[in-house]
Structures are given as C-alpha cells and as structure tokens.
Amino acid sequence: MKLTYSLESVLHTDFSEDITCIGLEFHKFLADLELTAFHEYKETEDYPEEVFHATMAGLLEQLGEDELELPLLFTVELDKEMSLFGFPFRYTFLLADREYFHSLSREYEVDKETEELCLSEDTDCIVIYTGMSLQE
C-alpha cells in the first residue's frame, strides 16, 4: 500500500498555538464516498465528510490541550438512509504522532516528500484513511 499526501489542516487553539495535521489517503475516502453515498446529502452536517472535519477539529483541540493519546483509531459512519446500497458503512482513520508514523512508514511505501512532510517538526499529527467496511 502506498500512502500519499492528500491534505493539511491547521487548527489555531485557544492558547494561541497552531496544531498541524497532515492527511494521507483522504482522496481515497472521498472516492469511497462517491461510490457509497447519495450526493444530495453532501451539504448536510451528517454527511461523512462533514462529520470527519468536525471530528478532526475536536480531536485536534484535545491534542492541543494534551488530552489525547496517540495513536488513535476512529470511524465516521454513513447511515443506511444516505447509502446508495441501503447499508450503513463505516470509514476508518488512524490518527498518529510523528514517532508512530515513522514506524509505519517502514511498513508502507511512502514517497520521500510525504515522509519528510509528516516527520517535520512543524507536524503535530498525521491522519491516515485506512478504508471502509459495512457497519454491523
């Protein structure tokens, strides 16, 4: 599996501190949504892309307040009403710090530029989309 850079998010905390998070494989998450979700829900707050951003904002805020232990797996769900197939789906993400990412980068194919960006002192965390599954 090759991990590729997809997005960068910076949250300015209440303590005048910036939290920088690098997103890998986010384009695959968006592609999976295209395959599984009705597009008319795209502008709603319950749409998985919106839920992802809200979840990340909360997690980054917790990280900025030193209330979060990494690595952390989290999921975003697609209700069956929004699903093209009538089944609920779960999209899974891994939130990691630089040290954990460094150990992962040896197992996965990561290009040099992406690895340097993720391991930079300016990067506080890395979020990786790991895939989707049917929700039980």
Domain total for the chain? 1
> What confidence score (pLDDT) does residue 10 get?
60
pTM over 0.85: yes
Per-residue pLDDT band for 6 (boundaries 50, 70, 90) equals low
Closest by Cα among 88, 96, 94, 78 to 129? 94
Supply the range of the domain harboring residue 129. 2-134
Residue 73, pLDDT score: 98
CB atoms within 10 A of CB 13: 13
Residue 15 has pLDDT above 50, yes or no: yes
What is the mean pLDDT of the segment spanning 21-36? 94
Q: In what order do the strands lie in the sheet with 5-12?
A: 5-12, 18-24, 125-134, 89-96, 72-78
Percent of the chain scored above 70 by pLDDT? 88
